[in-house]
Amino acid sequence: MRKIWWKILCIVIIFYVIVMGLMGEVPHLAIINESIRNTYYHVALWLAMTTLLFASMVFSVRYLIKGRINDDDIASELAKSAIFFGILGCLTGSIWANYTWGDPWPNDPKLNGAAVGILIYLAYLLLRSSFEDEQRKARISSVYNIFAFAVFIPIIYILPRLTDSLHPGSGGNSTFGSYDFDNSIRRVFYPAVIGYILLGLWLAELRIRMKRINRVREEIPDSAGHVTH
């Protein structure tokens, strides 16, 4: 029970977010209207994604310091969970943009930066797949992962604030906090972020286990006594 309590918590939180996100009370805002509910999905997914990418970067640093392949396994799988959330974030954001701005993908610095950020991390996965030697793959991809996060944060959270952007909090636009980001939103939004982070960790844990099982299988001698690689 001690090992699965957080998974049970994750299921409960996600269920709560889905139900309250669709049926809970929300403030009535001009232009945004009922689409403010997408805050629980689009915005929360991106915050969870950023948290997972930060954790992935930390484990890449740990690998470069200690040289343990397990740290690289964790870093790569956390990045995959984050990319998955990033793609979902782009999809939910496109739906929101279509209803609010009349275009699923307007020429907006933050949207374009999000696309570039996803491509940067897709390139990280492509880089990993181009090496067969595990240690070499881990070293090079760990360095890339660290620099990828250092580039990702400015293009997503800093540069859009310095230019004209449709997004709240960017280009001189007001943040959600200046609207009615009241307790009715907070009661669902913050649990949503926690739930998505736990879900991302859960997905990463499953893939890490599979990777380690496959690694052990490759080292088991066959019937002739040869070790397969």
| pLDDT tens digit sequence for 34-43 | 678 888 999 9
Query: What's residue 174's pLDDT?
Result: 47
| pLDDT tens digit sequence for 12-48 | 999 999 998 888 877 776 656 667 888 899 999 999 9
Query: What's residue 53's pLDDT?
Result: 97
- Cβ–Cβ < 8 Å for 79, 204: no
| pLDDT tens digit sequence for 103-156 | 888 888 888 889 999 999 999 999 999 998 999 999 999 999 999 999 999 998
> What is the pTM (predicted TM-score) of this model?
0.86
In this predicted structure, the answer to whether residue 97 has a pLDDT above a threshold of 50 is yes
Query: What's residue 221's pLDDT?
Result: 60
- Cβ–Cβ < 8 Å for 199, 49: no
CA–CA distance, 192 with 14 (Å, rounded to integer): 7
CA–CA distance, 26 with 35 (Å, rounded to integer): 10
SS3 221: strand
